[in-house]
Chain A
Amino acid sequence: MPDHPTRIDLIRNTEQALRDASLQRQMGKAMPASRRARADAVAELPEWESLRSTAAEIKDHVLANLEGYLRQLESQVSALGGTVHWASDAAEARAIITDLARSRGVRRIVKSKSMTTEEIFLNPALEAAGAGVVETDLGEYVVQLAGERPSHLIAPVVHKPTEEIADLFVRKLGVPRYERPEELARVAREVLRAEFLAAEMGITGVNFAIAESGTLVIVENEGNARLTTARPRIHVAVMGVEKVLPQLADLSVFLRILARSGTGQRSSVYVSLLTGPRRAGETDGPEELHLVILDNGRRRLLADPDLRAALRCIRCGACQNECPVYQHAGGHAYGSVYAGPIGAVLTPAYEGLERARDLPFASTLCRACADVCPVKIDLPGMLVELRARSVRTGLASWRDRMLVGAWTFFTRSPARFMLAGSLGRLAQRLVARGGKIERLPYPLSGWTAHRAAPVLASTPFRAWWKSRQGEGR
């Protein structure tokens, strides 16, 4: 079965989300707090704008020279004693990792948070291969216990109120009902500490990979990625091809922008620069290091001049926190691993516009996402491009094409526009009540499904203006 069988029903998902009072309450609390934290952290740096530009330039330079840097990374990691695996799609990546687990008799695996492994549906494949997998990021652990998927890039369980997590722990872990976040965190810490000690394999994502030194950089706050990489005998790191950076020096730019954009911190609590497996005389770190470099649609995106810059994304989550649509719809409405404005670009790019045709419309094009993006991705421009593509390729609905066709016809000349006004004023007599139009007939019914439309003024602006020309000014 393909990983992405059906069309994402954004409208239905969003209607569900809007009816979910606890989700709305959670998002209403979390998103403004995240925005404030980011704004404060950014205001501290007078050079913020130039950092964004430099970050974008470095990423563009990497994308323009991608294969060279990837080969350099491969040779450095290999020279250090690691093994590099190339995966062209999700199925290949899953096969590589499950084969590693199987051939080494791995029964228990700990994972630290990684969107890339979510993208390739890794956990079910490992379970099917007979290895138990435990997510160790606190939020991801809750998501896993609940049998859900993360709803935000860096706050995976932002959609879930504490009381629900309390119930979940009672049901799944058989512990008494703890209600305070610190008690719940302590329960999880104890359960997970035992998992770390028992695991034979640790799987992580990669925030940045340094080509010149073969260094893998992992950024986190909890310490679970450190435990995942320091304790198990085997470390498997999974990265998209776009994560490579040329030099160690480049990191200073990206570390500065990533934590500030994501959580408003000057630095995340732990930044691990891992250079090769355990060395002689050391007592921790992995004996075996495997780096899986994943394409899964990224090189196709790279070849797309209008959308290529989406590969600059460093997964900070700022565009999600800022987006008025995401704030209400929540991450799950986007029906895929990447949500919010960046998801509305990446999901059509990776999973096909046909399946994700509604996502580019989940935006008011207010540009808040573009203003905060630390690598200056023109997300609204890309969403407009994707909308145009869905019209060009015949994916837009008959109704939408008819409405846009009518709009185009009537706005082509002043005479036609005035004609439309006259027709509208005639027609609204049938539907207007008390200065409002509560319900319009098909094909305009969508416009009034959730709000009333104002009536057209009895005198058009042009006529009103003309009538004032004689008056003194």
Chain B
Amino acid sequence: MSRPVPPGDRPTADPVALFIERAEQVGISVITVGTHDEAIERAVALGRERRVQRAALWDTPEMAPIRDRLRAEGVEILDPRGTFETFAQAEIGITGAEWGVAETGSLVLSAGPGKPQAASLLAPLHLAVLRSDRIVPGLATLLERCGPLPSALVLITGPSRSADIGLVPVLGAHGPTAVTVLLVAG
């Protein structure tokens, strides 16, 4: 069967700059940091600013230092193997992001052991740590590289929103009201 071939991505001079621009346009706050250590500091500072008492985090090696620092600050860390009910108590959900898509300003998260979807979905604030060398120019490149597919690969392009009532955009319809990215230069 001969198939029509979908076009590739338009070339982008600076995918990172485009990602930042477009992510901010859809309401994602982007904080650029130089190193992973700096990302840890910013994450802890953010938790402090927001007076976070309960946090849900992915159970991955890169999240471990953030988890330990938050715990030292007296923040309750919810069981990463916990149920939805557990995660629903979090005021912040902290995750990694496998990819960023410059074309759309999207974060791409894959599910897996220790990486529950609930962490990016239930808390009012979602904080994601993304390495800038993981930013691809567009959807075609992402789909070329993202396999083999996990049980859930989710593109997140802004806070949860709805304009169903009165045509007025409302944030936090079901998911987070705010999404922040710690973009680590790489």
**Binary contact track A254-288/B, C-beta < 8 Å → 1, others 0:** 01100000000111111111111111111111000
Q: Which of the candidate stretches B4-12, B29-37, B69-77, B90-98 sits at the interface with the other chain? A: B4-12
Asked if residues A284 and B111 are in contact (CB atoms below 8 Å), the reply is yes
- The yes or no answer to B184 lying at the interface (CB within 8 A) is no
Pair B162/A139 contact, Cβ less than 8 Å:
yes
Bound together, the chains give a CA A248 to CA B6 distance in angstroms of 10
User: Are A138 and B106 neighbours in the complex by a CB distance under 8 Å?
Assistant: no
Residues of A within 8 A of B168 (CB): 162, 181-182
Q: Does A312 contact B (CB under 8 A)?
A: no
Which residues of B, 132-153, contact A by the 8 Å Cβ criterion?
A: 138-140, 142-144, 146-147, 149-153
Give me the interface of B with A, judged by CB distance under 8 Å. 1, 3-4, 6-7, 9-10, 22, 26, 80-85, 88, 101, 103-106, 111-114, 116-118, 121, 138-140, 142-144, 146-147, 149-168, 170, 172-176
- Is A51 among interface residues, defined by CB-CB distance under 8 A? yes
Q: With A and B bound together, what is the CA distance between A65 and B147 in angstroms?
A: 25
Contact of B159 among A251, A266, A268, A269 (CB under 8 A): A269
* Contact yes or no, B103 A275, CB < 8 A: no
CB-contact partner of A196 in B3, B84, B140, B170, under 8 A: B84
Chain A 296-346 interface residues, beta-carbon cutoff 8 Å to B: none
**B151 / chain A contacts, CB cutoff of 8 Å:** 274-279, 282, 285
On whether A283 and B82 interact (CB within 8 A), knowing A221-B173, A222-B173, A226-B117, the answer reads: yes
Choose one: A61, A248, A282, A285; the contact of B4 (CB below 8 Å). A61
Q: A192-B174, A227-B174, A271-B154 are in contact. Are A197 and B84 (CB under 8 A)?
A: yes
Which of A30, A54, A142, A213 is within 8 Å of B167, CB to CB?
Answer: A30
- Kindly provide the distance from the CB of A327 to the nearest chain B CB, expressed in whole angstroms: 14
A residues with a Cβ closer than 8 A to B are 29-30, 33, 47, 50-51, 54, 57-58, 61, 65, 68, 136-139, 142, 155-158, 161-162, 165, 181-182, 184-186, 189, 192-193, 196-197, 213, 215, 221-224, 226-227, 229-231, 246-253, 255-256, 265-285
C-alpha gap A284/B113 in the complex (Å): 9
In the complex, are the beta carbons of B7 and A47 less than 8 A apart?
yes
Chain B residues positioned under 8 Å from A68 (CB to CB): 1
* B105: A residues at CB distance < 8 A: 266-267
Q: How far is the CB of A153 from chain B (nearest CB, A)?
A: 13
Cross-interface CB contact of B149 among A182, A247, A249, A273, cutoff 8 Å: A273
Q: Are B6 and A185 in contact (CB under 8 A)?
A: no
* A282, B106: Cα distance in complex, Å: 24
Given A252-B140, A269-B161, 18 other A-B residues pairs in contact with their CB atoms under 8 A: A29-B167, A57-B4, A138-B164, A139-B165, A156-B164, A161-B166, A222-B160, A222-B162, A227-B175, A252-B6, A265-B157, A269-B157, A271-B157, A273-B154, A274-B152, A283-B118, A284-B116, A285-B117
Q: Cβ of B113 and Cβ of A282 under 8 Å apart?
A: yes
Kindly identify which residue among B4, B150, B167, B172 contacts A33, using a CB–CB cutoff of 8 Å.
Answer: B167
Give the one of B85, B112, B118, B164 with max A CB within 10 A.
Answer: B164
Residues from chain A with a CB closer than 8 A to the CB of B4 are 54, 57-58, 61
Complex interface: chain A residues within 8 A of B117 (CB)? 226, 230, 284-285
Across-interface contacts of A61 in B (CB, < 8 A): 1, 3-4
A and B contact pairs by CB, cutoff 8 A, 13 listed: A138-B162, A162-B166, A213-B149, A229-B152, A230-B121, A249-B140, A255-B139, A267-B157, A270-B175, A271-B106, A271-B157, A272-B155, A273-B153
Q: How far is the CA of A184 from the CA of B114 in the complex (A)?
A: 35
Q: How far is the CA of A68 from the CA of B1 in the complex (A)?
A: 10
Q: How far is the CA of A275 from the CA of B151 in the complex (A)?
A: 5
Docked-complex contact B153 and A275, CB < 8 angstroms: yes
Q: B22, B103, B146, B174 — which one has the most chain A CB atoms within 10 A of its CB? A: B174
Give Cα A57 to B146, complex, Å.
25
Q: State which of A137, A181, A271, A284 has its C-beta within 8 Å of the C-beta of B118.
A: A284
